[in-house]
Structure 1
Amino acid sequence: MAPRGDGELELSVGVRGGGGGGGGAADLAEPPVPISLGRLVLAGMVAGGVQYGWALQLSLLTPYVQTLGLSHALTSFMWLCGPIAGLVVQPCVGLYSDRCTSKWGRRKPFILIGCLLICVAVIIVGFSSDIGVALGDTKEDCHLYHGPRWHAAIVYVLGFWLLDFSNNTVQGPARALMADLSGRHGPSAANSIFCSWMALGNILGYSSGSTNNWHKWFPFLQTKACCEACANLKGAFLVAVLFLTLALVVTLIFAKEEPYKGNQNLPMKANGQVEAEPTGPLAVFKGFKNLPAGMPSVLLVTGLTWLSWFPFILYDTDWMGREIYHGDPKGTDAQIAAFNQGVRIGAFGLLLNSVVLGFSSFCIEPLCRKLGPRIVWVTSNFLVCVAMAATALISWWSLKDFHGYVQDAITANKDIKAACLVLFAFLGVPLAILYSVPFAVTAQLAASKGGGQGLCTGVLNISIVIPQVIIALGAGPWDALFGKGNIPAFGLASGFALIGAIAGLFLLPKISKRQFRAVSGGGH
């Protein structure tokens, strides 16, 4: 695919199913074996297993760690491990997987190691209270003692960080694997399948996290150091380990990779010896110069898009508890109850969001074929701009309806509640586009220009995690400038979405519908 004078991308090389590695034309991975659509679907199942555990992280871990003694402020900084892990781990793993010469394939060894580490991390987090007692925490019954347990907290944080690093070890190679195997189906179809598995994992994870009966079904999980909430967390995470193991086995069986034989066109030293390819984190930054044409624009628009999404991802349930149900996690009993009720309804909204995301993911590829990926991506940013602005209108509606009475705080207006749930569900459509189209465009650029699927996917992740760091560090002070609440951050998100839409309209590579069909395998 070569750039034309008008900015249109024109196919000039054959596409090998998105299997471009780090070596471009010298990439000696065998051409992918033709794969059926059903086999491709099963090859991506590991994404659902990983996302199951991630949904549990979002729904259970922040409340739980506060029972161990960490303050609410410290928990927000703890979540910075995610973007840090993504910034460091995914590009390096992507680069190494591009060059892996294992007989098992380039991607599967990293997926296997990452999933094993996820299982270890989940067990550490789930049993952190029991490990803390063994290390010297109080032996008082958890029903009687409600103070800090610092050994357990330290073990928990270490397990939490290991969990995030392990998730990032799997996600890059798993996406690159789907692009490698996509063949005639194309990277867009592969990303839609990946997105669908993520949606299913979210649905199962949020459902599991909202279940308060794990300690009843598995009473042996309760100990003197681990009461009902802790036992529920243990049960949910142990089920997550079983599901991830099943998903991993299915992926390893149905994802048939051909071994990568290495790049034999490496530069020669003065003495005639072959100069080894650079490795390590510095090699990732050296790889930026080998990114395919159009990738810098994709990185910029991706960053702006995620700047518009992260405020909602971080504060959606908090918004429901504060602005919609008028609760306060540190207020009176009635305000605390109202806040918790809002959080639960917000979690149900996330479940609806995941259902819509799953169904929408099947429509992304046909939309991209008909309209082109650039128009689909830009349209999703405009939708997010409108949705983030709608949060301010709904909040104003809710506050106008609220008169300060206790019964108002406990019982939210049914119309407002319905509007919020509709908003949560509606956002599943642009979220499906966000989870699919940028990665599909990246896979197409890497396949046609030989930039390396793993490296390009890892570099794309940098444009995701940097906005996450910016929002995590800046959203709180930004909200404080305008008073308490989440509306200032949502307003800023609406502005970023608008900027991202305009930037995408003028900067994203113009892949025509005909070219998209050819690259994505839609021409047959």
Structure 2
Amino acid sequence: MEKLHSYQGWSGRVHEIRDNVKAKISSWRENHEGDNIVDLSKDYARKISKGQSETGKDDFSHIYRRKTRSELIRLSASVMGIEFAYASETAFVSPTLLKIGVQHQHMTLVWALSPIVGFFLTPILGSLSDRCNHPMGRRRPFIILLSIGVFLGLLLVPNGEDLGYYMGDYYEFFNESVGNLTKILPHRTTAIDSDEGLSEMLTVESSSHSWGIFFTILGTVLLDFDADACQSPARAYLLDVTQTEDHARGLSTFTIMAGLGGALGYSLGGINWDATKIGIMLGGHVRAVFTLITFIFVFCVGATITSFREIPLAMLDSFSQIDEENVVGYGTMDGNNEDDEKRKEIEERKKSLTLNLGKINEGYAALPGENIAETSFTSKSESSPINDYQNEAAPSLKHYLLSIIHMPKSIQTVCITNFFCWSAHVCYSLYFTDFVGESVFGGDPKAPYNSSKYNAYEEGVRFGCFGMAMYSLSCACYSLIIEKLIWRFRARKVYIGGLLFYSASMTLMALTKHKIGVIVFSWGAGVMYSTLFTMPYLLIAHYHAQGIFELSETGESKYSGERRGIGTDVAIVSSMVFLAQFLLSCFMGQIVSLSETTTAVCSTAAFLAFCGAISATQIMYLDL
């Protein structure tokens, strides 16, 4: 199909998609003629909740075939919605909190709450997803649950102050002509000061925003934690329903969608919605942005969770029981007729558990979902000693929780490298606009309102947003070629090279402190984001696909005797973002104060990325 598309071009693809949609609509109308739309919706929801297809049968044929780029895009749509939410969070949470009375020195505590929760809870959620018995599968219930948290955060952040007024928050003003006057004012959602006459007559005597601060911080924690945590089951879901050959392409597509979501999200926040009918109708700039992003987020997550059905855990356990009853291990088969007949018998028994299964790829002895759930081995493995654990029961939740503490050295190294990568990136993402406003534009956020220093800082912050949009765009562009780079230069060079490129970019940005450098060198941040979004998870998936987590002293593959869940390992690696954000939130302010310049932000990012590159040299890459 891809070869055909190369001849057809984009116009041919558009016509093909149009014809396919028409054919599906026509077929659906024929099969549901006269049916009530409400009853159809209820029936569809019931089938989805039970993990069934539209026909009501357990059809898992999609598991056994390569996925097209459009299918991978749909699988990755959830992360695009997450990045839209991230963009709204980073752009508006701090100004919103400062506006209702949170002091600058307390902002560090606000940003540290989510990482504390996420660092300990995310790996546990990953372990729970590995042993989830829901009919929908193991990953999608967690995607839905965490998405609800993001949804609530998107509602609370722009409306926290108004909720505070309902709970008793107030402004108290003094009017010279009337006397004391206490007013509960509505949330000012626009930057336009239209009540100039009133503001001259009234002066703020006191105010209380305790409830507003509470609801806004609650929304921030929900939004920040759930958006980060949701990425782990989303990645595991993509790996579960795709074959090993699609993992690199799938993860690169995942990163492309993340980059596009970030770029479009920052661009959406850069529009002056106060001057539009939509902004006026929705209640101002902030509410307009959050409302639009909420709808986009729901659409993106909905597209992902309705894309491909997972094989339920009970069925995967049945496959494992078949293997235990019939064969010691695929790695021990020597290719004689008796083994071939036994293999065929096993596969037929597996097929009998599912209806309409597609043709299994040659040499693929385990189901893709089964292969990803716990470590298993393919028939092409020459020395996979399944004998040691073949008669053991399926790993329990306790086993997965213990595996968080007892990690192979290979996964520990990946975690350390990912920690340095996220630390370097957090320096950029959380403090970059402040660096541009102070060091590049020479502004001062503490200067008197409307002074030249203050206006220069505000202009720098807005200009820094363009730099961040460039980094998101470069992330998407680099993700288009990272798979080819891995194939051409191997994973080690791509991983280390991406980190060194970011380190050099941040160093040059710190040295130049120029507007052009803000735009040009921000592309290095996109390379970093694409690298840390792709490489660690590609390595984890590769370890599980090969069933190898460590090497012997001679450098040969060594079986550790341990069965691990990929959901757990993906969550462990992902939790490094929380640790990095927590530590940077605690110490970055002190680093800037001691150096007396925000240039320390870029310098620290460059140093941490270089440490990550050194750590990446110690990673076990196998044959990747």
- What TM-score, normalized to structure 1? 0.79
Moved more, 49-58 or 378-387: 378-387
Secondary structure, counterpart of 2:306 in structure 1? helix
- CA distance, structure 2, for counterparts of residue 446 and residue 473 of structure 1: 35
- CA distance, structure 1, for counterparts of residue 149 and residue 538 of structure 2: 28
TM-aligned CA distance change 1:256 to 1:128, over 3 Å:
same
Q: 8 Å contact 2:154–2:294 — kept in the other structure?
A: yes
Does residue 140 in structure 1 map to residue 196 in structure 2? no
Match of 1:50 in 2: 82
The offset of 1:203, in angstroms, is 1.4
Match of 1:94 in 2: 126
- CA distance, structure 2, for counterparts of residue 489 and residue 355 of structure 1: 22
Counterpart of 2:620, as a letter, is P
**Cα deviations by residue, 1:12-46 (Å, 9 ceiling, x for unpaired):** xxxxxxxxxxxxxxxxx999332422212211111
Q: 8 Å contact 1:302–1:463 — kept in the other structure?
A: yes
Match of 2:142 in 1: 110
Secondary structure, counterpart of 1:127 in structure 2? helix
Match of 2:497 in 1: 379
TM-aligned CA distance change 1:245 to 1:288, over 3 Å:
same
**Cα deviations by residue, 1:461-499 (Å, 9 ceiling, x for unpaired):** 2333222222111111122222x2222343233222223
- CA distance, structure 1, for counterparts of residue 245 and residue 274 of structure 2: 41
- CA distance, structure 1, for counterparts of residue 427 and residue 530 of structure 2: 17
Structure 1 residue corresponding to 2:104, chosen from 50, 72, 85: 72
The offset of 1:329, in angstroms, is 0.8
Structure 2 residue corresponding to 1:254, chosen from 281, 303, 307: 307
Q: Percent sequence identity over matched residues?
A: 23
Q: How does 1:48-447 map to 2 (within 5 A)?
A: 48-138=80-170, 139-140=184-185, 142=188, 144=199, 147=207, 149-214=209-274, 216-218=276-278, 219-222=280-283, 231-261=284-314, 263=317, 277-279=396-398, 284-289=401-406, 291=407, 294-332=410-448, 333-395=451-513, 416-447=514-545
- CA distance, structure 1, for counterparts of residue 131 and residue 209 of structure 2: 45
The offset of 1:121, in angstroms, is 2.0
Counterpart of 1:496, as a letter, is L
Structure showing greater Rg: 2
- CA distance, structure 1, for counterparts of residue 229 and residue 419 of structure 2: 21
Does residue 36 in structure 1 map to residue 67 in structure 2? yes
Secondary structure, counterpart of 1:492 in structure 2? helix
Secondary structure, counterpart of 1:294 in structure 2? helix
Q: 8 Å contact 1:51–1:202 — kept in the other structure?
A: yes
- CA distance, structure 2, for counterparts of residue 285 and residue 236 of structure 1: 42
- CA distance, structure 2, for counterparts of residue 39 and residue 178 of structure 1: 10
Q: 8 Å contact 2:85–2:227 — kept in the other structure?
A: no
TM-aligned CA distance change 1:33 to 1:275, over 3 Å:
closer
Match of 1:456 in 2: 569
The offset of 1:73, in angstroms, is 1.7
Counterpart of 1:295, as a letter, is I
The offset of 1:310, in angstroms, is 2.3
- CA distance, structure 2, for counterparts of residue 463 and residue 151 of structure 1: 32
- CA distance, structure 1, for counterparts of residue 78 and residue 509 of structure 2: 34
- CA distance, structure 2, for counterparts of residue 209 and residue 236 of structure 1: 6
TM-aligned CA distance change 1:284 to 1:212, over 3 Å:
farther
Q: RMSD between aligned alpha carbons?
A: 2.6
Q: 8 Å contact 1:215–1:221 — kept in the other structure?
A: no
The offset of 1:69, in angstroms, is 0.8
Moved more, 135-144 or 379-388: 135-144
- CA distance, structure 2, for counterparts of residue 95 and residue 367 of structure 1: 32
TM-aligned CA distance change 1:80 to 1:204, over 3 Å:
same
Moved more, 321-330 or 100-109: 100-109
Structure 2 residue corresponding to 1:476, chosen from 589, 606, 610: 589
- CA distance, structure 2, for counterparts of residue 88 and residue 392 of structure 1: 34
Moved more, 136-145 or 302-311: 136-145
- CA distance, structure 2, for counterparts of residue 349 and residue 379 of structure 1: 22
Counterpart of 1:454, as a letter, is G
Q: 8 Å contact 1:90–1:169 — kept in the other structure?
A: yes
Q: 8 Å contact 2:130–2:567 — kept in the other structure?
A: yes
Q: 8 Å contact 1:307–1:468 — kept in the other structure?
A: yes
TM-aligned CA distance change 1:323 to 1:278, over 3 Å:
same
Counterpart of 1:34, as a letter, is R
- CA distance, structure 2, for counterparts of residue 180 and residue 276 of structure 1: 18
The offset of 1:128, in angstroms, is 1.3
Q: 8 Å contact 1:292–1:445 — kept in the other structure?
A: no
Q: How does 1:483-498 map to 2 (within 5 A)?
A: 484-498=596-610
The offset of 1:339, in angstroms, is 0.4
| Residue ranges of structure 1 left out of the alignment (5+ in a row) | 1-28, 223-230, 267-273, 396-415, 517-524
Moved more, 444-453 or 467-476: 444-453
Q: 8 Å contact 1:89–1:168 — kept in the other structure?
A: no
- What TM-score, normalized to structure 2? 0.67
- CA distance, structure 1, for counterparts of residue 462 and residue 165 of structure 2: 31
Q: 8 Å contact 1:374–1:511 — kept in the other structure?
A: no
TM-aligned CA distance change 1:78 to 1:455, over 3 Å:
same
Instruction: Tell me the number of residue pairs that the alignment of Structure 1 and Structure 2 aligns.
Output: 446
TM-aligned CA distance change 1:102 to 1:35, over 3 Å:
farther
The offset of 1:184, in angstroms, is 5.0
